[in-house]
Structure 1
Amino acid sequence: MRNAARAVVLSCFLPALSSLAFAQVSGIVSLAGPGANPDYAERPPVKISTLTATYSVNSLVLDAETGAVISGGVGTAAITPNANANANAAAGNDDRFDIDERRPNKPTIDGLNTLATFDGAFVGQAGPSAGTDFRFTMIGNDPRRGGTTVYPANVDEVSLQLLNADGSVFQTVSYAPFEHLTLESPNFEPLNYTSGHGVEYADAIHRAEFNSVRRENWHTLMIPKVVNKTTITVPFFVNIQLKNGNIIQARSYFTGTASDGSTFVLMLSPLFNFFFDNEVVNEINLGNFTTNGINITAFPNTYLFSLNVNNPNVPGGCCTLGFHTYFLDGVFPESRWVTEYASWISPGIFGGGFQDVTALSHETSESFDDPFVDNPTPNWQFPGQPANSTACQNNLENGDPIEVLPNATAAIPIKEVNFTYHPQNIVLYEWFEMGATSNALNGAFSYPDPVLTHSAVPCPQ
């Protein structure tokens, strides 16, 4: 998620795609799969008043990079008061957690209406940033105080109705087959880790990185609830405006089949950005997405590709699996809705163990450690790169450094559903310090597996 001048959707730096063959759709012949080229970008915060209120997809013209509406939309989006902002979390699965001391999930930053956060800092220990303070804001309450902060994980399950060029329905790709497995995944299931027993995946990582200062009963807990099941209608073509002002018609999506028989969808990223933004605003207005929660749009095998300007009927670079950001209303006190897009990943589509909840674990851990996508770090080099590589970032996006590695995921079996999950290993904040040692649990730099055995390397100047 490299800082970029252009505001584009986050693209993951992934292991090579497995061999893909895209289905023939309405006379379009089968296509060779696109390359998984490294691409770093961020999904910036979204100000609701910049979005279009009403539209007809067929008349829309979207910006080629951001998905912003150039023409074909009417009015600006608005929100209704968030009646659920202080609601208690509601259960969405059958698990129960032992909470002996509950901390309030209320805003801890003056002027914000959002979820509970705590602040901290570390000092860079190497490179040009040695001796520089780096402050951060993370989800949870202060680990030194202990106790459990409970957040609703508001899940909006999105299905896709794909249209042919003549407007008839080609196929509907549903999230339903993945609902139960998502809710019972390590993201929400109490499991035993070296950092704690009966804890969720992101909490286990959080506890490992603050091991030297936290109280034993410190937890950051998500309670999942499916708040809506939505179907988005995806047109066959969409109008895109290029940088030079020219408007072209581009294919909106392509489909293929995973090894388990599931359909996967590649969607043009500007169109996805548009759909995502409007879907989040709809869920906010319905009271389903809340300022005190972690709001998740869950998609079924839906990956994003960039526009191929030279041939808009063939996918460009691929594939984005997820991103996190927040939506804001732009008034004070400012309301912020921390939000994720994550795709379920069927087996055999990607290499490197990327499957099932890899994307959800990646984005949730990043939401925990960088909820407002503004935590800075020393400029660090991606692991596994040549010594002179300038593939670097300078933010506390703790999923990114490991996603480039062949052993990026951990295998976690859950007997309850007879399924082995593949959440991503995550770097701990001590990795960004660039120090010789780590104060994290067992001196680790990554968790739960010791994928990285030393801290970050400064970016070559």
Structure 2
Amino acid sequence: MTGKRIRRLGSVVAVLAMAGAGAAVPAMTAGATTTGAPTPISDAQMHPSYTTIGGGATVLPTTRTVAHWWGSTTNPTNGVTYGYNMVGANPNTCSGAACDVTVRADITPINVVVDGQTFSGSDVVAPTLASPVFALNNYGSTAHATDSTGGKGPGGTLSQGDQGVPLQLEDATMRAQFNKTGAASPYHLRLQPTVLPAITIDVPPNQGTLLASPRGIVFADVNITWWSSQIQNLEQSANPTHLPIYLTNGVMNYEGHNPLNCCVIGFHGTRATGNGGGSTNANGNAKVQTFAWASWVQPGTFNPGSTWALQDIQALSHEISEWADDPFVNNAVQPWLTPTAPQYGCSGYLETGDPVVGIGFTMGTNTYDQNQYADGSYHPEDEVFLPWYMRQNPNTTSEPTQSVSSYGGRYTLMGDLNPFQGFRQPATGC
């Protein structure tokens, strides 16, 4: 097993580059009481990103982890066969009721106190439960999607394959990824939410501060090293067959001991025997605990002109999708690079949300966010499919048992609604 790994992220530039700081506006606090004077931060300094914690957990012959399957694909550009673990049932071999998997999601709201202000994770539990992450929606179409500038554009057809089939977001994503769409398809990956008691974390003055975006949205900015240790302490008492979700509101992380080196909005990870968790005498049935942290993002935190979709549940949708496609944080792929997410550099990870940070669409009705930047919808992130990483062109993944392709030959959930050419063809190398 490897030790803890935190993947450092760079700046967002190129297609989704942030605009400069705007005029001063009255401060609005994301889920917090408003006292004190936060430090202003410009859009150019706000680098939305995600990371992984832990990783390298070898999948054990155990029943003490989330339901998962193993597959492999040969990449035609380098001849390497890549193996991977994913949550749910094997879409190539399952049949009937065995294709329908439910994982319990244990949601722990965290109320975070920084500089005397409380950012209430409890406040966003109800809107999160009502969001596409857990509620059922029709993924046949969407009203709006990210345009070529990163702003809000018109929507259209999302997935006619599941037109009229009520689904949770990750269920719709996995079904489209493996072309298991349609009312007759038995394939599902469902999340069953359970809300656990809220906890409060007081952030020491030397580990967190308050920042304000150019639109006056105040948020908590916490040292990622300190924050990740708090989350790892919590997940040690979690059930390994469940997905623990640690939910915050308006809380982000900074890296490199510099509060202006912001903003990580979520991470997912794993802990296994030999990696600081589990039993040392497990008799071949050791625990492998997966987990995720994500923060609710108030509209207007990030520039709506260049990262319009980066609000409300986008961070949570990102982390859940990556958990499902890489639950043990050890799925390697041929390194990829994309101008829409240069903060990840030359990445060799199968992290389905990283290439499409800030790209998304509207789904469902969001009545919680009411400021002038809100549009009354939730904003799931687009997600990249396995064939993109495996350089499959045409879009077909060669599995040990059969060939499968994603719905409509697309490389992301949004398909042609994703306006960037790099996602209408396989990944490019670096």
TM-score by structure 1 length? 0.69
Question: How far does the alpha carbon of each residue in 1:298-348 deviate from its partner, in whole angstroms, 9 at most, with x for none?
Answer: 01111111234xxxxx62411100010012324332202210010000001
> Which residue matches 1:273?
228
Task: Point out 4+ residue stretches in structure 1 off by more than 6 angstroms.
Answer: 20-29, 212-215, 415-418
Asked whether the 8 Å contact 2:250–2:298 carries over to 1, the reply is yes
For residue 44 of structure 1, what is the amino acid of its counterpart? G
> Which residue matches 1:187?
133
> Which residue matches 2:249?
300
> Which residue matches 1:350?
302
Asked whether 1:446 is paired with 2:394, we answer no
Asked whether the 8 Å contact 1:9–1:273 carries over to 2, the reply is no
| Secondary structure at the counterpart of residue 446 of structure 1 | coil
Asked whether the 8 Å contact 1:437–1:443 carries over to 2, the reply is yes
Asked whether 1:421 is paired with 2:378, we answer yes
> Which residue matches 2:428?
457
> Which residue matches 1:63?
none
Give the drift of 1:264. 1.4
Asked whether 1:224 is paired with 2:193, we answer yes
Give the drift of 1:42. 3.5
Q: What is the CA–CA distance in structure 2 between the aligned matches of 1:208 and 1:266, rounded to whole Å?
A: 36
Question: How far does the alpha carbon of each residue in 1:76-95 deviate from its partner, in whole angstroms, 9 at most, with x for none?
Answer: xxxxxxxxxxxxxxxxxxxx
Where does 1:323-402 land on structure 2 (aligned, <5 Å)?
323-328=267-272, 329-330=277-278, 331=280, 332=282, 333-351=285-303, 352=307, 353-384=309-340, 391-402=345-356
Q: What is the CA–CA distance in structure 2 between the aligned matches of 1:116 and 1:8, rounded to whole Å?
A: 25
Give the drift of 1:426. 0.3
| Secondary structure at the counterpart of residue 365 of structure 1 | helix
Match 2:5 to one of 4, 7, 22: 7
Asked whether the 8 Å contact 1:428–1:447 carries over to 2, the reply is yes
Match 1:290 to one of 239, 249, 265: 239
Asked whether the 8 Å contact 2:38–2:212 carries over to 1, the reply is no
Where does 1:80-229 land on structure 2 (aligned, <5 Å)?
109-111=60-62, 113-126=64-77, 129=78, 131-143=79-91, 144-146=93-95, 147=97, 148-163=100-115, 170-193=116-139, 194=159, 195-196=161-162, 197-211=165-179, 216-229=185-198
> Which residue matches 2:391?
434
Give the drift of 1:279. 2.6
Asked whether the 8 Å contact 1:141–1:149 carries over to 2, the reply is yes
Residues 202 and 441 (structure 1), Cα distance of their counterparts in 2 relative to 1, 3 Å cut:
same
Asked whether the 8 Å contact 1:124–1:134 carries over to 2, the reply is yes
Residues 185 and 362 (structure 1), Cα distance of their counterparts in 2 relative to 1, 3 Å cut:
same
Q: What is the CA–CA distance in structure 2 between the aligned matches of 1:456 and 1:371, rounded to whole Å?
A: 22
Q: What is the CA–CA distance in structure 2 between the aligned matches of 1:9 and 1:174, rounded to whole Å?
A: 27
Residues 231 and 27 (structure 1), Cα distance of their counterparts in 2 relative to 1, 3 Å cut:
closer
For residue 453 of structure 1, what is the amino acid of its counterpart? R
Identity %: 24
TM-score by structure 2 length? 0.74
Q: What is the CA–CA distance in structure 2 between the aligned matches of 1:27 and 1:227, rounded to whole Å?
A: 31
Consecutive unaligned residues of structure 2, counting only runs of 5 or more, are 140-158, 369-374, 396-404
Provide the aligned C-alpha RMSD in A. 3.5
Structure number with larger C-alpha Rg? 1
Q: What is the CA–CA distance in structure 2 between the aligned matches of 1:277 and 1:232, rounded to whole Å?
A: 13
Asked whether the 8 Å contact 1:12–1:319 carries over to 2, the reply is no
Asked whether the 8 Å contact 2:270–2:328 carries over to 1, the reply is yes
Q: What is the CA–CA distance in structure 1 between the aligned matches of 2:352 and 2:387, rounded to whole Å?
A: 10
- Alignment length, in residue pairs? 357
Asked whether the 8 Å contact 2:86–2:324 carries over to 1, the reply is yes
For residue 183 of structure 1, what is the amino acid of its counterpart? L
> Which residue matches 2:46?
36
Asked whether the 8 Å contact 2:337–2:346 carries over to 1, the reply is yes
| Secondary structure at the counterpart of residue 287 of structure 2 | strand
